[in-house]
Amino acid sequence: MKPLRAGIDIGSTTIKVVVIDQDDTIVHKLYKRHMSSVSRSLHALLDELSDVLGDVELSFNFTGSAGLRLAKHIGAQFTQEVISATSALRHHIEGIDVCVELGGEDAKIMFFDGVNVEMRMNGSCAGGTGAFIDQMASLLDTDAEGVNELAKSYDKLYDVASRCGVFAKSDIQPLLNQGAKKNDIAASIYQAIVNQTIGGLSQGRKIQGKVAFLGGPLTFSSELRKRFIEFLDLEDVFIPKNGEVFVAFGAALESTNPPQSIEAVRTKILEYRKQYKDTMRKTMAPLFESDAAYDAFKKRHNQSDLKRVALKDYQGDAYIGIDAGSTTTKLVLIGENLELLHSFYAHNRGNPVEVVKNALLAMYEHLPDAIKIKKAYATGYGEALIKNGFTLDGGEVETICHLEAAKHFDPNASFVIDIGGQDMKCFKIDHGIITSIVLNEACSSGCGSFIETFAESLGHSIEQFSEMALESKHPVDLGSRCTVFMNSSVKQAQSEAASSKDISAGLAVSVVKNALYKVIRAHDVEAEYGKNIIVQGGTFNNYAVLRAFEKETGIEVTRPVIAGLMGAFGAALIARSRDDEHESTIMKTDKLKGFSFMRKRTTCRRCLNHCALTVNTFSNGKRYISGNRCEKGAGLDASYEDIPNLYLYKYDKVLDYANARQNGSVKVGIPLVLNMYENLPFWQPFFNALGAKVILSDRSNKALYEKGQDTIPSDTICYPAKLVHGHVESLYEKAVDFIFYPNLPFNFLEKDHADNHYNCPVVAHYPEVVEGNMDHLDMQYFMQPYLTLNDAQKFSDTMVGMLRPYMKVRKRAIRKAFAIGMDHYLKFREDVQKEGERALAYAKQHGLPAIVLAGRPYHIDPEVNHGIPKMIRSLNVVVLSEDALNHLAAQDKVSVLNQWTYHTRLYDVARYITKLDNVNMVQLVSFGCGLDAITTDEVKDILESHQKLYTQIKIDEISNLGAVTIRLRSLLSTMQEVDHG
Amino acid sequence: MADLVVDNGRIVFTEAMRKEYTVLVPEMAPYHFDYFVDAFTSEGYNAKLLRTTDYDLIHEGMKYSHNDICVPAMLVIGQFIDALKKNVLDVHKVALIITQTGGGCRASNYIALLRRALKKAGYGFVPVISLNTGGLEKNPGFKLTPRLFHKLHDGMLFGDLMMTLVNQTRPYEKTPGDTEKLKAEIDKELRDYFMHKRLFTWRKQRKMAASIIKRFAGIEVDRSVIKPKVGIVGEIYVKYSPLGNNHLEATLEQEGCEVVTPPLYDFFLYSFDSRVYDIKHYGGSKLERFVLKCIIHYVEWRRKKMRKQIKKGNFSPGVTYRHVKKLANGFIDHGTHVGEGWLLTAEMIDLIEHGAPNIVCTQPFGCLPNHIAGKGMFKKLKKHHPEANIVAIDYDTSASKINQLNRINLMVSNAMRQRAKEEPNDSL
C-alpha cells in the first residue's frame, strides 16, 4: 500500500499543506499566511497536522520558492512549483492549452503542446503580484477582497503602467488624488496585472484555447479572472477546486521519498532554525550599539521642535498651511510667533477633499473666537484642488514651502532631504536660495509607504515596526534598487528565517541607501552638501530610518519633530509672510457644512494626447479641472501657442511626410519608430526617387502598444522599443508590398570630434527582434538589411540585392536616390536647426525662459513623451531640443568615450547652454536605457561644473505627469532665483 | 617616486610606474585570469589579481557607480575601490587595468565610469590602463608587445582547456575532491610555466597540454550517472565570474548537472571578427582587416592542434570558431555584434545541437545587447529546436538570490525530466 503523501507549498506569503492517500484523494489540507516566519509557521502547521492525523508516517515533498532552501537544508524532497502545478493540472483535467499562475511573488505561465510543456516565469521587474495587490488595497483603504468587490462595478479603465508594481503605483496614486472613482481604479489595477502578465510572459505565444487559472490572486479574485477573460476573449476557462492548495496537491502527487514521521520533520525544522541564525549572509551592523546610544539619539532629535500652545490658550492671528501630499494630507495652524496651535496628519484614503473638509471642521470646532485666521495657503500634489475647493488665499510650490520650513529650524541649512510616502525631494541651499533640486524618478518612488504597508501586512503599526528595528542585532541587506526588488529580498530573508526585527532594520537601511545612492547620488554627503542637513518627511519619523541615515552619512542631522508636517508648516509660514489687514478667504464652518463636490471624469479631445480629465465641481459653483497637460484642457485661453516648441515642430515635420502626396506603384511600409523619427526624411525621398511609395505605420498610442505587447520578448527593454511591435502589426494591416526596417549599427557621421558614431544596441538591431518574435506575421515581406548611411557605394551594394524582388533598379539609380535622400535629410536637419535658432532668439526677445528638453529623436512621439513638451510650454517656456542646437556647440572632448551620435549631441548642447542665460536643460531618459546611465552623469557634470541646474525626467509607459509638473515648476522657480539672484 | 603625467585629463601609466607600481587586475574568468596575471608578471609588471568577493565590495560599487549601470561595472568598480580603501598596498603605487572593447555596448565606457568613481572616492591619482586591441588609449608604461600578446593567447588556450576538463570531469569523479586537487596541482605547474620569462610557443606548450589532459583522464570517474548537460551563455562577465553570477557553475553542479561553458577564446575571436565585418560592410582600413584575419587564422590553427589533443584524451573539445559562426546563419546576422551579439545566439545553437539544450542565459539587469541576441532570439530558437530549455537570469546587486535559484531550479527540473524520458531505465 502506498503511504500517505504530504505536499507542502511554501510560497512567498502563505504555506499550504495537503495530505493525500493512495487514491490521490485529499485527506487533509491546511492553508496559512506565514506572516514573517516561515519555519515557525511551518512548525505550527505540522503540530496541527499531527493533532489531526496522529503520529503517522508521511512521504513529504516540498514546493514553492520559499521552501527551496529549507527543503535542501533538512534533506527533504523538493519539486519546483511550476512542475508541481503541471502535475496537479494533468491529474485534474485533460486538454489544457495554457495555464496562468499568479502568486504572491512570482507569475508563471505554462503552454502545453501535447506532452511538452513550455514554462515561463516573470522577469525580476515584474515580481510581486500578490504583494502589489496588497499595497494597492491599502491605498484604497481596503483589503484584497475589497479590491475585488470594488472592481465589480466600474465604468471605465484607466491606463496604468504595467511594467512593475512601482510604476503602476505612480500612475494610481495621482488618480486617487484627482478623485477618480475607486471602482474604476480597482478594475484598472487588475487590467494592469493582465497587461503585465501578457506583456512579460506570453513572448509571442497567444494565450488562447482552454486556459487554467491558478494561484492566490486568481483563485480569490473573480474580477481579476474576468479582466483576463474579457481582455483575451477566452471562452473555456478552468478554475480548480481547492485552487489555493492546488500546487501543494501537485507536490503531494510528485512525492516519492520514503515516509517519515511528522515528528522527525519537525525536529529537523527546529534544527534548521537554530542553525540558520549563525549562517545568515549579507547582514549589517546593528543600528544602535547600546540602549544608552539610543536614548541619547532620541533626546537629541526631540530638541528640534516648535513651541506648542494649546488652541484654547491662544489668542490673536493665526495662519493655516495645508499640504495635500500624494498619500497624506497635513494641516497646521500657527500663531503670530510661530507657535504650533494645531496639527493634523492623515491618510488621503483616496479622497483628499473629504479629508481636508473633515480636518477643517474638526479644527473649527475647537477654535476659540479669540483666534482670527488671517491667511491660508496650500501646497503639494493637490495644491490647486484644495486651493480652489476651499477658497484658500493662495498656494505655493512644495519645494519653496520646504525651504521656508527648513530655514526656520536651521537658518544655515545647506541641504534638505524629504522622504515622503511616495516621493523623495532633496535640495541644496546656498545663501538662502535653492541651487539644485533632486527629485526621485519613478523607480525610487513609494519607499516610504512601502515600509508602512509592509508593517501593516505583518499586523504591526508603523510605530511598533520601527521600534522593532532598533532592537535588531543583524539587519538584513535587502538591496536598494526599488521596492519590487526589496520585496523579493524580504521574501528571501523570510524564507531564511530572518526575524521581523532584522527585516525592519534592513528596510530602513534600504530606503536610506536608495535615497543616498540612487536619488541624491552622493558619495560624500558632507563634502557635496555641507553639514547642516535637515531631514524631514513622514518617513523620518521612523527612528530606524533616521538612524540609518546618520550612520550611512556619518553626519548628525536635524530632524524636526514635525518632520511629517514641514510642507504644511512652510505653507503656513508663507501664509504668515503674506499677511495683510484682510481676513482669510478660507471657508468657514457654516459654508463647510454645506460643502459638497462632484467629480466627473472625461477625456479631453482637443488634441491627440487625450488627457483623462477630472472635473471637480464644488458646491460654490467653482470648477477645478485636473489631469490636463495644457491649458486647453482646463478650458483656458491658449495665448502661448506662439511660443516655439521644437518637439511639436519636429513631430509636425515628420507627419508632413506621412501626409505628403506620393506616386509610385510599389508600396513600402516603414514603421515610424526609434531612429526612424529622424531618418524618415532620408528614406521617404529615397524610395520616392526609386518610384516607390512609403506607407507609414499608425501613430503611437496605448491601443497600438497593446496590439503588439504579446510579442515583446524582454520586459525590461525601453518603452520606445516595445512600441515597435505595435507599429509593425499596424503595417501588416495596410497591405504593403514589403516592410522595410534596416539595422543601422552606425549613425550618420555628424561631428569629427566624437570617438565614434554608433547607434545604441537597441536602435541598431531591433529589426532582428521583430523578425525573431513576430513570426505569426509573414516575415517574407519583412526586409531588414544591415546598412551604412555614410558610404553610398556600400549602401547600394547591399540595397540592390534587397530591392530586386520588388522593383527593377540598378545600383546607379540607388546611388542617385541615396544622394536625393541625403539631400533631404540634411535639409531637414538644417531646418530643425534654423527653428532652434529662431526659438532661442524668440526666448531672448520676449524674455522667456527656455528649456532644452534633451533626449533622443524618438522622444518627439507624444506616446513616449506623454505630452511633457506641451506641458512645459504651458508654463510659458520655450521648448528646445538637443538636435536643434548641437550645430552651434563648439567641438570639445568629454571625459567618457563619446561614441554614440545621439549622445554626442547631448554633451555638445549641455556645454553650449552653460554660456546662455535663462536657458536650462532637462534630460528625458527612457526607463531601461542603459546608455543613459553614462550620459546622465556626464551631462550632469558638464552642467553643474558651470553652475547650471541639472534635471532628469525618467519616462516610461507611466502617463501621469503629476510628479513631473511639480518637478518642472520647482525647476522654473529655482531657475528664476538662480538667474536673477 | 614616479611623477604623475596627465594627458587629456587622464593619468598616464608611465615607464617609471611600470617598475614601482602594482597593477591590480579584476577577476572575470576564474579559469583564465591567474594565467594572464602570471604572464604579466613574467613581462616585468607587478600584477595582482583581485579575488575579493565580500559584501563591502558590492556596497562600494553601489556607492561609487551609477545605480542604473550594469552589474559588471558596479562589481569591478566596487572591487577596485574596496581594494584601495582596505589599504593593503600603498595607494600611490597602484595602477588598475581594465579591458575596453570599444563596441556599441556601454561596456566600452566602463573605464570612464571607473575613473569618475576613483575621482569621487579620492583616488583620482590612480592610473587606469585600458587593455584593448583597437588602440584606444596609449600608455608608455604598458605595451601589448607581441610576446605579451602571445603569452595571453597561451593563457587563453590553457584557461579554456582547464575549464573544459574540469567541467567534464568533476561531476563524475568517484572520490569527491579529486578534480579540484588535480586542478590545484596543475595550476601550480602552469604558474611556473607562465612566470617564465621565455615564451614557449611550440614543444613545451604541447607537452604541457598533453600532460594535463592525460592526468585529467586518469581521474577515476563514473560516467554511468546520467547528468543533464547545462550550458552557460550570456554577457561575458556574468557568464564567467562567480562574483557576478552568484557561483552559477557550482550551483548547477550541486543540482546534479554537468556544466558546459563555451570557451572564452571564441569571444575574443568574435571581437576581432566583428571589426573585420565592419571594415568589409561599412568601410575602413584594408590592412587592418588583413591583419585581423591572419590573427584569427593563426589562433584557430593553434586551437585545432589542442582540440586534437583533447579528443585523444576522450574529452569533448567543442567546435571551431568557424563552425560556431556558421550556426548563426538563419537566426541572426553577423552584423549584430554589440556586446556578445550573434555569438551568444550561435553558442546557444551549438549547445542545443551538442546535447546541452538546457541553457542558462545570464545577463546583467537591463543589458541592452541581450535584449536582442539573448532574450530576443529565444522564440526563434525554440521554433527550430523545440527541445531547447532556456532560462534567462537577470543578475543585479539588488536581485534576490532565491528568485534566481527558483528559475534555475525550474530549468534543471525540466532537464531532469527530459533526461528521464530519454533514458527510462536509468532514471531512478
Give yes or no: residues A663 and A705 share one domain. Answer: yes
B255, closest residue in chain A (CA to CA):
A72
CB atoms B115 and A773 under 8 Å: no
| % residues pLDDT > 90 (chain B) | 61
Q: Mutation test of the interface with chain B: which of A483, A523, A759, choosing the one with the most B Cβ atoms within 10 A?
A: A523
CB atoms A521 and B336 under 8 Å: no
Give yes or no: residues A667 and A809 share one domain. Answer: yes
Average pLDDT over every residue of A786-796: 90
Give yes or no: residues A138 and A210 share one domain. Answer: yes
Q: What is the pTM of this model?
A: 0.88
Q: Mutation test of the interface with chain B: which of A897, A926, A941, A955, choosing the one with the most B Cβ atoms within 10 A?
A: A897
Dihedrals phi, psi of A746, to nearest 5 degrees? -110, 145
Nearest 5°: the CA angle B404, B405, B408 is 90
Max mean pLDDT range (A477-481, A846-850, A954-958, B395-399)? A846-850
Task: Output the nine-digit C-alpha cell for A314.
Answer: 491662544
Q: What is the CATH number of the domain that holds A920?
A: 3.40.50.11900
Supply the pLDDT for residue A340: 94
Q: Is B314 exposed, middle or buried (0-12, 13-18, 19+ CB in 10 A)?
A: exposed
pLDDT at A686 over 90: yes
A527, closest residue in chain B (CA to CA):
B120
Give yes or no: residues A468 and A580 share one domain. Answer: no
Supply the pLDDT for residue A1: 58
Average pLDDT over every residue of A679-684: 94
CA–CA separation, A573 vs A579, rounded Å?
Answer: 10
Least confident segment among A545-549, A766-770, B99-103: B99-103
Give yes or no: residues A799 and A657 share one domain. Answer: yes
The answer as to whether A624 is a domain residue is: no
CB atoms B400 and A488 under 8 Å: yes
Supply the pLDDT for residue A127: 78
Supply the pLDDT for residue A445: 83
Instruction: Please report the number of interchain residue pairs, chain A to chain B, with beta-carbon separation below 8 angstroms.
Output: 227
Task: Output the nine-digit C-alpha cell for A950.
Answer: 541639472
When pLDDT is cut at 50, 70 and 90, the band that residue A484 belongs to is confident
Mean pLDDT estimate for chain A? 87
Distance of CA A891 to the CA centre of its chain: 37
Q: How far is A184 from chain B (nearest CA, A)?
A: 33
Dihedrals phi, psi of B157, to nearest 5 degrees? -60, -45
CB atoms A492 and B120 under 8 Å: no
Q: Is the dihedral of CA B189, B191, B193, B196 positive or negative?
A: negative
A764, closest residue in chain B (CA to CA):
B336
The answer as to whether A103 is a domain residue is: yes
| % residues pLDDT > 70 (chain A) | 95
Between A124, A488, A768, which is nearest B336 by CB? A768
The answer as to whether A533 is a domain residue is: yes
Q: How far is B395 from chain A (nearest CA, A)?
A: 9
Supply the pLDDT for residue A610: 72
Beta pairing, strands B22-26 & B94-99? parallel
| pLDDT tens-digit map of B306-335 | 999 999 999 999 899 999 999 999 999 999
Between A775, A791, A937, which is nearest B283 by CB? A791
Between B109, B331, B396, which is nearest A481 by CB? B396
Supply the pLDDT for residue A125: 78
CB atoms B379 and A203 under 8 Å: yes
Q: Mutation test of the interface with chain B: which of A487, A492, A714, choosing the one with the most B Cβ atoms within 10 A?
A: A714
CB atoms B55 and A491 under 8 Å: no
- Residues with Cβ within 8 Å of residue B174, at least 6 apart in sequence: B220, B221, B222
pLDDT at B211 over 70: yes
Q: How far is B203 from chain A (nearest CA, A)?
A: 43
- 3-class DSSP state of A612: strand
pLDDT at A36 over 60: yes
The answer as to whether A498 is a domain residue is: yes
Average pLDDT over every residue of B27-42: 93
Give yes or no: residues A469 and A356 share one domain. Answer: no
Residues of A in contact with B103 (CB under 8 A): 758
Max mean pLDDT range (A821-825, A845-849, B108-112)? A821-825
Max mean pLDDT range (A426-430, A942-946, B9-13, B252-256)? B252-256
Kindly write down the DSSP assignment for every residue of A341-362, as one continuous string: EEEEEEE-TT-HHHHHHHHHHH
Under 8 Å between Cβ of A420 and A537:
yes
Max mean pLDDT range (A103-107, A406-410, A756-760)? A406-410
Q: Which residue has the higher pLDDT, B8 or B123?
A: B123
Between B112, B369, B392, which is nearest A761 by CB? B369
| pLDDT tens-digit map of B251-309 | 999 989 999 999 999 999 999 999 999 888 888 889 999 999 999 999 999 999 999 99
Quick one: which of A256, A209, A217 has its CA closest to A235? A209
Name the A residues in 900-929 with CB < 8 Å from any B CB.
900, 928
Instruction: Count how many domains chain A has.
Output: 6
Under 8 Å between Cβ of B377 and B345:
yes
Task: Output the nine-digit C-alpha cell for B202.
Answer: 611550440
pLDDT at A788 over 70: yes
CB atoms A930 and B368 under 8 Å: yes
pLDDT at A134 over 80: yes
CA–CA separation, A442 vs A454, rounded Å?
Answer: 19
Supply the pLDDT for residue A32: 86
CA–CA separation, A753 vs A442, rounded Å?
Answer: 35
CB contact, 8 Å: A932 with chain B? yes
Q: What is the CATH number of the domain that holds A259?
A: 3.30.420.300
The answer as to whether A632 is a domain residue is: no
Between B109, B369, B379, which is nearest A934 by CB? B109
Quick one: which of A127, A134, A186 has its CA closest to A715? A127
Q: In which domain, by residue range, is A541 found?
A: 424-557
Total Cβ atoms within 10 A of residue B106: 30
Give yes or no: residues A503 and A447 share one domain. Answer: yes
Between A488, A791, A896, which is nearest B109 by CB? A896
Give yes or no: residues A878 and A746 share one domain. Answer: no
Which residue intervals of A366-499 are DSSP H helices?
383-389, 398-409, 447-457, 462-470, 483-495
Between B102, B103, B379, which is nearest A772 by CB? B379
Residue A465 gets the label, from left (phi > 0), alpha (psi -120 to 50) or beta, of alpha
Among A784, A809, A829, the domain-final residue is A829
Give the CB-side neighbour count of residue A155, counting CA atoms within 13 A.
Answer: 6
Q: Which residue has the higher pLDDT, A641 or B26?
A: B26
What is the DSSP secondary structure assignment for residue A626, as one 8-state letter? E
pLDDT at B194 over 90: yes
CB atoms B379 and A204 under 8 Å: yes
Give yes or no: residues A774 and A668 share one domain. Answer: yes
Supply the pLDDT for residue A457: 79
Residues of B in contact with A900 (CB under 8 A): 104
CB atoms A928 and B396 under 8 Å: no
Give yes or no: residues A775 and A877 share one domain. Answer: no
Max mean pLDDT range (A411-425, A753-767, A813-827)? A813-827
Residues of B in contact with A728 (CB under 8 A): none
Helix A144-151 to helix A222-232 angle (10° resolution) is 50
Between A66, A124, A513, which is nearest B396 by CB? A124
Supply the pLDDT for residue B428: 37
Q: Mutation test of the interface with chain A: which of B68, B114, B344, B348, choosing the one with the most A Cβ atoms within 10 A?
A: B68
Q: What is the CATH number of the domain that holds A379?
A: 3.30.420.40
Q: Mutation test of the interface with chain B: which of A10, A166, A765, A773, choosing the one with the most B Cβ atoms within 10 A?
A: A765
CB contact, 8 Å: A526 with chain B? no
Give yes or no: residues A847 and A869 share one domain. Answer: yes
Q: How far is B383 from chain A (nearest CA, A)?
A: 10
The answer as to whether A614 is a domain residue is: no
CB atoms B398 and A897 under 8 Å: no
The answer as to whether A88 is a domain residue is: yes
CB atoms B402 and A65 under 8 Å: yes
pLDDT at A280 over 70: no
When pLDDT is cut at 50, 70 and 90, the band that residue A714 belongs to is confident
CA–CA separation, A56 vs A49, rounded Å?
Answer: 10
Least confident segment among A436-445, A962-971, B246-255: A962-971
Give yes or no: residues A438 and A402 share one domain. Answer: no
A200, closest residue in chain B (CA to CA):
B375
